[in-house]
Amino acid sequence: MKRTTSALLAGMTSLALAGPALASRPTAGSPEGLTAAQQARLAAGLQIAPRGAGATGPAPFVSFLPDLHKVDFAAWQQAVAKESQRVAHSPARRAAKARFATSSGVLTYREKEAATVLGRNDTTWTAEQVSAFGSAAGQRHRMVVNGVLAARKPPLRTLPKTPEDNGSIPLAADSGIRGSGRVTVSGVMGDGPFGKTTGDFDWYAVPVAAGETLSVEVTGASRDASAGIYSATGEVLAFGWSSISEPSFARIATYTSAVDATYYVQLGDSLSWQMDPFDSGSGTMANPRGTYTAEIGSYRHDRDGVLVHLRRGDVLGTSVTGAAKRVAVQRWDSQYVAGQEIDFSMFYPENSPLPSGGNAVSAFVAPADGWYGVLVDLGLGAYRNEVEVYRPGGEATPAAQTIFLDFDGATINTSQFQGGGPGINAKLSPMKAFLAKWGLKQSDLPALAAQITATATENLQQDLRRQGVPNLKVKVVNGLTAPDPFGQPNVSRVIVGGTIKESKIETVGIASAIDPGNFGREDSALVLLDLMSDPVAGNQSAVVSLNYYIRPTTDKIRFIGTAIGNVVSHEAGHYIGNFHTENSNSVSSLMDSGGMGFWRMFQAGPDRIGGTADDGDTDFTTDRFALLEGNRGVENTAVVSAWAFSAKVK
C-alpha cells in the first residue's frame, strides 16, 4: 500500500474540516421564520431552542421536520444515548449477529503503541494494519481492539482575568499559550461595554501548531454558556457548551489544525449570538450577569488507529467504550468519512447485527475496496472498541427489496416511530382527500400517484444504479395500481397521506429506523400531507406548503408529484441506512434535514417557483452530516442507499 504526504495531511485533518465550509453569516431573515442570528446558529451546529426544553415531539433524527424553533437537540441526543444503551444487547440483536456472521470467534487485538506514548498510530498512514479482519474468506468479521489513549496533558495554569473590552477577534486577550499549553480562564458574562444592550463576549487568541488540537471546555458557569473556536477570518470551526439542566451532556469544542495558525476562542452566554466576530457590539441580546470558568488547551491529543481492509459494500460497525468518546472511519488516503460522538443504535432495527451500546457508535458502508482507518480519540486512558463487518442484509436473499407506496389511507400503530406520540392506532386519510387543497381534481389522482412513484423510482433505483452495485434489486410499487404486499418478507412501505391531527406526530415525514446495511427489510415510514397542502394566506408555515411554490404556469402534477416523491425518498432513505445531511450549506441532498430550505427538497429551485428552468434535480449525494445531530464528517448517501439494495446472486 503506497502512502503519500497527502495521506499524512488527511489523517491529521480535524473532523471539523470534513466537507464544505460552514455557511457564511446570513444578513436577513428567512421564509422559514428564522432570523439572521438563528440561521447563523444553525449553520454553526447550535440549536435555537433553549436547552432543557426536553426530548419532546418526534425524534428529529428520523423526521423531516417543519420547524426547528422548539427542538432541543441536546436533550434528544441524551435520550437517544440512554435508550441505545438499554436496547444494545437484546436477544433479537444477538440472533442477528449469528444470522449474518461470516466467520466464528472474535479476533482480539491490542494496540502496539505503548500506553505512555502518543503519535505512533494516530493517522491513517501510521495506523496499525490488521490483516486478519474482514469479510472475505479466511478473515474474522468481529474484532475487539484494546488500547490506551495516552495522558499527556501539559500542566494547567490560571490566566489572570482580562479587562474589557475583549469582545471581538481584534480585541482578543492573549491566552498566554506558547506551544503546548493549558490555561484556566474565568470571566463575567454581561460585564462588557455592550452587556446591557447587545451582549457581552470574551475572546482569547491561541497559537496552535500543526497537528495540535485546540480544545475549549466550559468547566463551570452560573447559567448556560457556550464556547466557540473561530479562524482568523471569522469562520466558525467548532462549538461546545455547558448546560445547567443537562450537565452530563455538555460538549467540548475541539479543532485539530493541519497548519501552524492562530485561532480565536469565544466564550459567552449561550442564548446570545455575535453576528460579526470583528465587532464587539454585534450581539443579538443583552446579557443578565453570570460567571463562567473554562479550560483552553492546545496540545497533541492521542488518537489511536487500526487499518482494516474492506470490500465494496462492506458494512462496518464500531462501538467504543471506556475512555474514548469518539470513533471515526476514514479511507486511508482521504478526509474523515464518518465520525460519531453518540450512540444512535436505538434506531437500528432489531435484526441489525451492528455493534452498539458504547460511548460512540458508528456505521459505514465502504464505497470501494481498500484500506480504511478506524480511529478513536477524545479521552485519556483505556478503551475497548468493538469492530465488526458484515455484507449488506439483502445479500442473504435473491429477492428484490420492495418499497410499497400506500396512497389509500392506512391504519398504523405509531409506537414504532420514536417520539411518535402515545402509540395510537392512527387511521390516516388517503391522498385523494388532499387533492382539492392543491386545486386538483379527483381525476388527477392516478397521474399524481404515478408521478410520485416515478420520482421515487428515479431516486431509489435508476440514479443508484450509477454506483455500479452488481446485483441492485429494488422496485417501487404504486399502491393505486397494485395490491398491497406489506407484511410479506422484503417489503417495506411509505404511507402517503394523513395529518398531524390523525397521527399525533408533528412532522412532515418520519421513518421507523435508520438501518445501515438494510438488515431489516420490512420497515414503515409516513409522509403526511396536511402541511404540504395548506393554503398560503395567513399561514406561518407557508413555506412547508407546496402551494407556496405554485404559480399559474406551474405543471401541478409534475411539481407536486416530484416534491412528494422526494420526501418519500428521504424517509425511505432513513430506513435503508442514511442519517441527515446538513441543510445550511450549498449542497442539495435528498437526506437534508428539515426546518429550512424546503424549496430544495421540493425541487422548486432558487426562484422558489415550481416548474421553472432552475428547478434542478435533488438526489442522494455526498454531503456533510447535519451538525445539529451529533455526527461529524461526510456521508455518501448514494453509496449507503445503493448497497442497501444489493441482493444475493442466484
Is 460 found in the same domain as 366? no
- Identify the pLDDT of residue 15: 43
64 within some domain: no
135 by DSSP, 3-state: which? Answer: coil
- Of the residues 373, 395, 417, which one is the last residue of a structural domain? 395
Query: For residue 387, what is its C-alpha cell?
Result: 469492530
124 within some domain: yes
Strand intervals (E) in 497-643: 509-511, 524-527, 622-624, 631-636
Is 168 found in the same domain as 112? no
Q: Is the pLDDT of residue 469 over 90?
A: yes
- Mean pLDDT over 435-460 rounds to 98
Query: For residue 560, what is its C-alpha cell?
Result: 407536486
Q: Is the pLDDT of residue 419 over 70?
A: no
Is 163 found in the same domain as 200? yes
- Identify the pLDDT of residue 243: 78
Is 229 found in the same domain as 142? no
403 and 511 Cβ atoms separated by less than 8 Å: no
3-state secondary structure string across 371-437: EEEEEEECCCEEEEEEEEEECCHHHHCCCCEEEEEECCCEEEEHHHCCCCCCCCEEEECCHHHHHHH
Which secondary-structure segment (H or E) carries 305?
strand 304-310
Q: What is the CA radius of gyration of the chain?
A: 25
User: Considering its fold, how many domains does the chain have in total?
Assistant: 3
- Identify the pLDDT of residue 630: 85
pLDDT in tens, 16-28: 333 333 333 334 4
Is 485 found in the same domain as 550? yes
117 and 150 Cβ atoms separated by less than 8 Å: yes
Is 341 found in the same domain as 278? no
pLDDT in tens, 192-237: 999 999 999 999 999 999 989 999 999 999 988 999 999 999 999 9
- Of the residues 343, 363, 395, which one is the last residue of a structural domain? 395
pLDDT in tens, 267-322: 998 888 999 999 999 999 998 899 999 999 999 999 999 999 999 999 999 999 99
Sheet holding 261-269, edge to edge: 173-174, 201-208, 261-269, 225-230, 236-241
> Is-above-0.85 flag for pTM?
yes
Is 89 found in the same domain as 236? no
- Of the residues 395, 415, 445, which one is the last residue of a structural domain? 395
Is 525 found in the same domain as 574? yes
**Cα–Cα distance, 159 to 119 (Å, whole number):** 29
Is 508 found in the same domain as 461? yes
Residue 549 to residues 1, 13, 545, 569, 590, Cα–Cα distance (Å): 52, 41, 8, 20, 18
Is 412 found in the same domain as 529? yes
Range of the domain at 490: 396-644
63 within some domain: no
CATH number at residue 110: 2.60.120.380
